[in-house]
Every structure is written in structure tokens, then in C-alpha cells.
Structure 1
Amino acid sequence: MYPQPYLDYLVQFHVERDYFECHEILEEYWKSSPPEQRKAVWVGLIQIAVALYHQRRGNQNGAIKMLTSAIRLLEQHREDVQQLGLDSAALHLLLTKRLEEISTGIAYRSLCLPIREEALQRAYEHACALRNAPVSRESDLNDHYLMNKHTLRDRTDVFAERQRQIDLREQRRKASEK
């Protein structure tokens, strides 16, 4: 009933608190759909994770920007939020309160998305059980890799693909000159 990447996102969000991975998981899922079928609700969920990643690292401006965008987007797609088993009204209140906290300098603390549907709760708990994980835990603010993943992750595949694209463009350019 719920896409596996969504359940993976929820586990990363609530258990691992790996907001960078949340972004990666849902972005890949969102991009797997044809452009005309991509749902904005996924972008809103990605933006929540990115906002929390920024807040946890002390980047208040980035957190405010992302959270403001997420709130606006998810408000426009309340029905999609509900269909994903989340409580849209509770989520709006939670995010609005967090935005106010960030704006006033209150330090990061872990946040849980309000699950409304029992079916989603069961699917999520099952996904946690498959990983021998609890259904929630607090962020480890001493985990340097978790806090700075965007700069520390292995980007070899990204650089290789970038170079491949450059090489392809160069080949096309040379072929067109002949």
C-alpha cells in the first residue's frame, strides 16, 4: 500500500535520524516517475528532512528557507499528505512550531512525523522490525559523519558520471565538426 522508499524514508527519519539519506531516498523515488507524474508531496517531505539537517548543523537560514518551502508545499497538497497516512493538520502545526523555534534560535531536537493511519503505523513498525530497530530514537549529535554527511560521503560515482557526461558532449562536438 505504501511505497518501500517511503517506508525507508520514515525509518531513516525517525530511527537513524539520517536526514541526508532521507533526501537521497525520496529524491531517487520521486525522479523515478515520469516528470508529468511526479508528486509535489515527495518534495515537501524531502524539504522537511533537509531543513532538519540544516537545523541540526546550526544552519538556521538554510533550515528556515527549507521549512518555509515545505510548509507552503505541503499545505497546497494536504490531500496527498493524508493519502500517505500522515495527519496533515498536525504536521502543519508541528512544522509551523518548529519554524518559529528555529527563527528564535531554539536548538535542534528530534521531531517525529504525525502518523494518522493505522495501516501506515503497522507498515512502518514492520519495516523497523525487519531492521531490528526501535520505532524511534533521538539524533546522535556526537556522530560527526551523520552531522556532516553532505561533505563526507563517497562521491566517486557522481564524479565519474559527471566526467562521462563531459566526455559524451566532447565526442558529440567533435562528431558535429566532421
Structure 2
Amino acid sequence: MYPEQYIEFLAHFNGDRDYFECHEILEEYWKESSDRSKDSIWVGFILLAVSRYHHRRSNYNGAKRTLEKAIKIFTLHNHEPILMGLNVDIFFPMLSKLLVQAETEERYQSITLPISDPSLYEACIKECQHKGFDWGEDSNLKNESIIHRHKVRDRTIVIEERLEALKNKKGNE
């Protein structure tokens, strides 16, 4: 019922808190499965993960900007989080609280996205177990490989994709 990538996203988001991986998983899914609309619900989830990544690194402006964009998308698609198995009565107030925390530069705290569908919850728990981490653990703020993932990852593919896009753009001019 739910895309495998969404389950994997939720497992990372609520499990090992690898928000960068959350971004990577859903960005790939979004590119492959949609019209690449910038206001897709998938982009909302991607931006939410990016916001949490920035907030944890004390980049409050980045957290605020990306969360504002995510909230705009989720508001535009206010019925879709229900279809995505989330409890919107908890989800939307949670987003508002996160925005205030970014604006007031409050210290990062782990959150758990409120899943209302028992089958989705069970699938996420199984995914966490499969990946070897626990659901609902707080972020390990000493794990540099997760906290600063953008600095330690291999960017070869990203660079190649950007060069190819630039080449195609110049060829179309």
C-alpha cells in the first residue's frame, strides 16, 4: 500500500535519525515516480528531513527556511498526510512547534512522526530491525557520520549529474 521508499524514509527518520539518508531515499523516489513537481508531497517530506538535518547542526536559518517550504507543501496537500498513514491532528501542530523552535534557535530534539496506520507502523518497525537500528531512539549527537553527512559522503554521482545537466542545457540553447 505504501511505497517501499516511504517506509525506508520513516524508518530512518524515526529510527537512526539519518535525515540525510531520508532526503536521498525520497529524492530518488520522487525523481523516478512523479512529474518532479516542486510542490509534490514527496518534496514536503524531503524538506522536512533537510530541516531536521539543519536544525541538528544548529543551522537555524536553514532549518527555518526548509521547514517553511515543507509546511507550505503539506498545507497545500493537507489531506495527503492522512493517506500517507500519519495522524494529522498531531502532525501539523508538530510542524508548527518545530518552526518556532528553529525561529527561537532552540536546541535540537528528536521527534517521531505520528503514524496512525498500524500496518505502516509495523512495516517501519520491521524495516528498522532489518537495518539494525531501533525505532524511536534519540539522535546520537556524537555520530559525526550522520550529523555531518554532507561533508563525508561521496559526491561523484551528484557532480556527474550536474555536469550532464549543464551540458544538456548548453546543447539546447
TM-score after normalising by structure 1: 0.86
| Stretches (4+) displaced over 4 A | 36-39, 161-170
When residues 73 and 158 of structure 1 are mapped into structure 2, their CA distance, relative to the original with a 3 A threshold, is closer
**CA separation in 1, counterparts of 2:168 and 2:55?**
39
For the 8 Å contact 1:64–1:103, the answer to whether it is kept is: yes
Q: Distance in 2 between matches of 1:48 and 1:166?
A: 28
Aligned-partner Cα distance in 1 for 2:8–2:34 = 21
Task: Give per-residue Cα distances to partners, 1:96-117, cap 9 Å, x unaligned.
Answer: 0111122112100111101011
The gaps in structure 2 that reach 5 residues or longer are: none
Contact kept, 8 Å, 1:30 with 1:38, in 2: the verdict is no
Query: What residue identity is the alignment partner of 2:124?
Result: Y
Structure 1 segments unaligned to the other structure (5+ residues):
174-178
Relative to 1, partners in 2 of residues 1:119 and 1:153: Cα closer, same or farther, differing over 3 Å?
same
Give a deviation string over 1:45-87, Cα, whole Å, max 9, x none. 1111000111111111111111111112112212211111001
Which structure: greater helix fraction?
1
Residues in 2 aligned to 1:168 and 1:100: alpha-carbon distance in whole angstroms: 42
Percent of aligned pairs with the same residue?
A: 37
Closer/same/farther in 2, CA of residues 57 and 84 from structure 1, 3 Å limit: same
Deviation at 1:167, TM superposition (A): 6.8
- State how many pairs are aligned: 172
RMSD: 2.3
For residues 25-174 of structure 1, the aligned pairs below 5 Å read 25-35=25-35, 40-163=40-163
Shift of the 11–160 alpha-carbon distance from structure 1 to 2, 3 Å rule, reads same
Task: Tell me the distance in 2 between the aligned counterparts of 1:168 and 1:73.
Answer: 29
Is the Cα–Cα contact under 8 Å of residues 22 and 46 in structure 1 kept in the other structure? yes
Pair 94,164 (structure 1): closer, same or farther in 2 beyond 3 Å: closer
Cα gap change, 1:34 to 1:163, in 2 (>3 Å): same
Partner of 2:14: 14
Q: Which has the larger radius of gyration?
A: 1
Query: Is the 1:10–1:124 Cα contact (8 Å) retained in structure 2?
Result: yes
